[in-house]
Amino acid sequence: MSFGEQPAYLRVASDLRKKIVNGSLPPHTRLPSQARIREEYGVSDTVALEARKVLMAEGLVEGRSGSGTYVRERPVPRRIARSGYRPAGGAVNPFRQEQSAEGARGTWESGSEQEKATAEVAVRLGITLGDPVMRTRYVFRDAGEAMMLSTSWEPLAITGRTPVMLPEEGPLGGCGVVERMAAIDVVVDNVVEEVGARPGLAEELLTLGGVPGHVVIVVERTYYASGRPVETADVVVPADRYRVAYHLPVR
């Protein structure tokens, strides 16, 4: 087989990937052995091994101890809805509100803790390194399955010693940032979300059920009131199981 200019291991991986995608190698099928790949494609053991590594890094195959490498079941991606829309007078958790339209049975766990702002958080919130912030970590679930992680930071210069200092406690516990800030006369008028992707961290994948090398979608969100950041968060979603869908109002 002629491989042209592209590295041989990528060409082999590409051909095997096509077979997985089109069903020629269905889920739970054993991937051709290294020796079989070497013979079929006319490549070296090193090339065959590297091609298998590519497929494993992409999450298309998985190794089973003492058994070999098998094609993984490919989940049908589900949507996680994102929206700037909130119904008037609706003090409801944004996650529950936004997922209800998608038929998700959303629940979540959270924990808040005061800490000093790191360099990155300080830049995002427009505060000084080491300033006190409230960090809240969330695990969002759909029918018990972890589907999304979120870590948010709010400057205690704004929320400290107020009824909304703890996002999930008090009279407005569980409500969105907009509603909570309004309760202390801070009017949120803008939100910015930047979407990127990266390999998941070990602790993230442990919670989300991924394997090392799996890619996650990261939404970096910041709420503003008259140009001042009042909350920033990192939302992490497993890229192989979910898509982030935006519902944006037409102005």
84 falls in which pLDDT band (50, 70, 90)? Answer: low
Mean pLDDT of 54-65: 85
- Spell out the domains of the chain, with CATH numbers in brackets: 8-71 (1.10.10.10), 78-246 (3.40.1410.10)
| pTM listed for this prediction | 0.74
Mean pLDDT of 81-94: 53
In the chain, the percentage of residues whose pLDDT exceeds 90 is: 61
Which amino acid is residue 59, in one-letter code? G
Spatial separation of the C-alpha atoms in residues 197 and 236, rounded to whole Å: 9
Query: Residue 93: what pLDDT?
Result: 52
Spatial separation of the C-alpha atoms in residues 56 and 71, rounded to whole Å: 9
Spatial separation of the C-alpha atoms in residues 64 and 126, rounded to whole Å: 48
Q: State the DSSP H helix or E strand holding residue 13, giving kind and residue range, or none if neither.
A: helix 8-21
Mean pLDDT of 201-230: 91
Strand-strand pairing, 215-225 and 228-238 = antiparallel
Mean pLDDT, the chain, whole residue set = 87
| Residues whose CB falls within 8 Å of the CB of residue 163, separated by 6 or more in sequence, listed in order | 170, 171, 172, 183, 184
Nearest in space to 150 (alpha carbons), one of 232, 82, 233: 233
pLDDT tens for each residue of 90-125: 444 555 545 544 555 578 899 999 999 999 999 999
Query: Residue 142: what pLDDT?
Result: 84
